[in-house]
Structure 1
Amino acid sequence: MKTRTWILMVLAFFIASAVNATDFPSMNVIPVEANKAMLAYKAPSAATLEVTLTDCHGEVLYFKRTNQKEKEYNQVFDFSELDDGSYCMCVNYGNRSVKRTLMVEGEEIGVGAPLRCYEPYFCLEEKKLNISFFNSPQKPVYVNIYKNGQHVDGFKLGDDLAIQKRLDLSSLKSGEYEVVVTDHITDHKFLAEL
């Protein structure tokens, strides 16, 4: 019965994802003057947002979560204190996100194409972890499991459009584990308490 419920839930998730595939918002990063750029986000429906700016090593330089649902969000960022290099601006909304790579060179800011992705769905029941992921780019996806920062296990989930895997974690000792699903865009993290 649990397997049937799981399959129905995953099918509903993918149908909803397919219906909403055209509802991606626009997210632009527009250079407005030397060392400054404006994040301009606009969506067809309101959602709470998480805005993140990271460097090329994944270190978070800026993070903001909105308290209210927003259809539009604009903010100017000053890059004058940052070193030349690659950065990533990301807006998460619901189970989806849109990202743009930024290249800072002196006073110039270059902006890459938008990358849109879905966040994976995780469900832990009785030491079995169900992972469902809409892999729209159809690039290889991997999962790695860590405990206290130490790698425990990892393997390739595949490159199918719809990835559905059940991991049996019953052989792991009790404790908190970090499960990291990695696609070609980013890492998606889940904390599993066994």
Structure 2
Amino acid sequence: MKTIKLLSTVLAVAIVAVATAVEKPKMSVTPLSADRAVITIQNENASLFELSIHAEDGELVYYKQTTKPLSSYQKIYDFKNLENGNYTMDLRINDTRLLKDFEVASKGISVGESKLRIDPYFAFTDGVLKLSYLNFDQESLSLNIYDEDGLVYKTSLGKDFNVASGYDLSALKEGKYEVILSSLNNDFSYSLVK
């Protein structure tokens, strides 16, 4: 029972540490005309970032990665070459993602609300794998652990918003392992050596 309480306390501290260390970027998309918009990005700290735009079918239609850390960025984008349809703008700064859906139509560009997403936190110490994840979309999650020969462990984590788990891996043989946290739309991986 003491082990369960200790593990719960450790995971709660890890969740608080992750939540306070997360980047808090802001992104606005302001239509200027039927096919042009200003994209403005601001972040508290100067950071490298990636900005991509995906079509509804997942096709990448635009990608930009900064070469030096920035705390602000602004550019006018011309969407006239995009077909009418729904798109998602994806801003990634460190472990934080900001998603914004928008529609390109003959009547102009319409922009949806921003959605914040944070990558899961993994740690492996003293034979224990710790995982915490804020499941904003409340998707069904599964955890798979692979060694060089294939799958060694699989479990379903459910659809809870706050996922915090610990796994005693002390019984596994020494070697390299790949941990995959999966949902319908995302896969996150973590490598560890035991």
Same fold at TM > 0.5: yes
Match of 2:60 in 1: 60
Structure 1 residues 177 and 109: CA distance shift in structure 2, 3 A: farther
1:161 aligns with: 162
Aligned letter for 2:19?
Answer: A
Q: How far apart, CA to CA, are the structure 1 residues paired with 2:167 and 2:109? A: 43
Cα RMSD for the two superposed structures: 3.8
Contact 2:176 2:192 in 1 (8 A): yes
Cα offset for 1:139? 2.2
Give the counterpart letter for 2:188 in structure 1: K
TM-score for both structures, normalised by structure 1 = 0.70
For residue 179 of structure 1, what is the aligned residue in structure 2?
180
Distance 1:182 1:50 in 2: 22
Q: Structure 2 unaligned segments of length 5 or more: list them.
A: none
* Separation in 1, partners of 2:81, 2:168: 44
SS of the residue corresponding to residue 161 of structure 2 reads coil
Question: Which position in structure 1 is the counterpart of 2:105?
Answer: 105
Alignment partner of 1:33: what SS?
coil
- The TM-score normalised by the length of structure 2 is 0.70
Q: Which residue of 1 aligns with 2:93?
A: 93
Q: Which structure would you say has the larger Rg?
A: 2
Contact 1:140 1:156 (C-alpha < 8 Å) held by counterparts:
no
C-alpha separation between the residues in 1 aligned to 2:104 and 2:12? Answer: 42
- Inter-partner Cα distance in structure 2 for 1:10 and 1:84: 45
In 2, are the aligned partners of 1:86 and 1:102 still within 8 Å (CA)?
yes
Give the Cα–Cα distance (whole angstroms) in 1 for the partners of residues 168 and 81 of structure 2. 44
How far 1:35 sits from its partner (Å)? 0.9
Distance 1:156 1:75 in 2: 41
Question: What are the ranges of 5 or more consecutive residues in structure 1 without an aligned counterpart?
Answer: none
Q: Give the deviation of 1:87 after TM superposition.
A: 0.4
Identity of aligned residues (%): 18
